[in-house]
Each structure stands twice: as structure tokens, then as C-alpha cells.
Structure 1
Amino acid sequence: MEVIAIQKSTLEGMKNELKELLELTENATQKYAPIFKEEKWLDNQEVCLMMNITKRTLQTYKDKGLLPYSRLNRKNYYKLSDVQALLKAGQPYKSNEDGVIDQ
């Protein structure tokens, strides 16, 4: 077991910085929690399964602005209501078994 000795003032400074970091995290959580509670968010795989489309078709929907999305940590998320609205409107592009997009 290794023992490391530091000055009490240094330890107190570290404690204070950790408390500030915790407060920032709690504030951010409180600020954005209502957004995620209001709406269910889906990832790429969930949307593809729900709509019965390929990832390429999903990319086409994004490229053409047909399906809005948000990006968080290099991952895309879609509002369930947006996916349902696109399903209700009818899918403008859908891949067939060969991966060819039919219009």
C-alpha cells in the first residue's frame, strides 16, 4: 500500500474544486432533464427497426432534411414524435431487399 502525503490546504482546494464540479453537473442535469423527460429519444438502430429501413435510407432522410436529429457525443438521436410523423406521412424513400432505394 502506497501512502502519499499532501498539504492540508492542497487537499481542501481539491475538495472545493470537486464540490464546484458536482454543482455544475447538478445544474446541467436540472437544466436539461425536462427536455429528455418530455420526449422519448431513439438512436439509429431503434429508428431503423421501427421504420423497417436500412442505415443508408436513414442517412438519406437526414441528408434531405426529412428527419430532424440531434447529435450527442458523436451519436445521433431522433425524437419519437418526429419518427412517428414521418411514418404517418409515408416514407418517401425505402430500400428494397437489394439495398436499392425506391421512390
Structure 2
Amino acid sequence: MTDLLFSQKVDEETLDQLESFLNQISSLCDKHNDKSLNEWLDAQDVCEILNIQPRTLQTYRNNGKIGFSQIDRKIFYKPCDVQKILNSNNSNSKKQRHV
């Protein structure tokens, strides 16, 4: 009987510690995600990620398909905007496969 009570107590303590650990990990992940959204990509990075030519990227800008910011002559893109295009392209290719 003592073994059973001890086992339950250890399990509760272990679960509490595990929950605390998971909360800390979750907090760290949230902080990291916020930082990555503040980083900007230049045109070369975006072209490599999307596997497109610079002219196609310009068309995306002109059509409002991707947001951007310009400082002097340099254009920058948010990673989340690039991710949206990747997700859009993936969902379009999946739809075409099912047709």
C-alpha cells in the first residue's frame, strides 16, 4: 500500500515538473517565433525560397500578391508573407493532383 501511495505521489510530482517544463519550452518557442517575424528577407532570398525569377517577384509585388518594404533602392519582404505564398502554391498543387 505504501508503494502505491509513493508511486502516485511521484507520478503527480513528475507530471507537475513535466507540465512546468513544457510551459517553459512553449514560452521559448513563442519568443523565437516573434523574433523570426521581425527578420526581413531580400529579393534574392525570396527568389531562392520560392524558386522564381526576380521578374516574377516584381510581378507579385505589382499585383499585390506579396507585401514589401523599400529602403532606398533595397526591397525587403516579411518571412510570413513568403510563407503564405508557399502555402498557397502547395494547396493549389494539391488541388490540381486531385482533379
**TM-score normalised per structure 2:** 0.52
Secondary structure of the structure 1 residue equivalent to 2:65: coil
2:42: which partner in 1?
43
**TM-score normalised per structure 1:** 0.50
Residue 81 of structure 2 aligns with an amino acid whose one-letter code is D
Q: How do 1:1-103 and structure 2 match up within 5 A?
A: 37=35, 38-90=37-89
Moved more, 75-84 or 38-47: 38-47
Give the CA deviation at 1:48.
0.2
Q: In 1, distance between residues paired with 2:81 and 2:38?
A: 10
Give the CA deviation at 1:80.
0.3
Unpaired runs of at least 5, structure 2: 1-34, 91-99
Q: In 1, distance between residues paired with 2:43 and 2:56?
A: 11
Identity %: 45
Q: How many residues align?
A: 56
Give the CA deviation at 1:76.
0.3
Q: In 2, distance between residues paired with 1:73 and 1:60?
A: 20
Q: Which structure: greater strand fraction?
A: 1
| Structure 1 runs (4+) greater than 3 angstroms displaced | none
Residue 84 of structure 1 aligns with an amino acid whose one-letter code is Q
Residue 89 of structure 1 aligns with an amino acid whose one-letter code is S
Give the CA deviation at 1:74.
1.3
Give the CA deviation at 1:39.
1.7
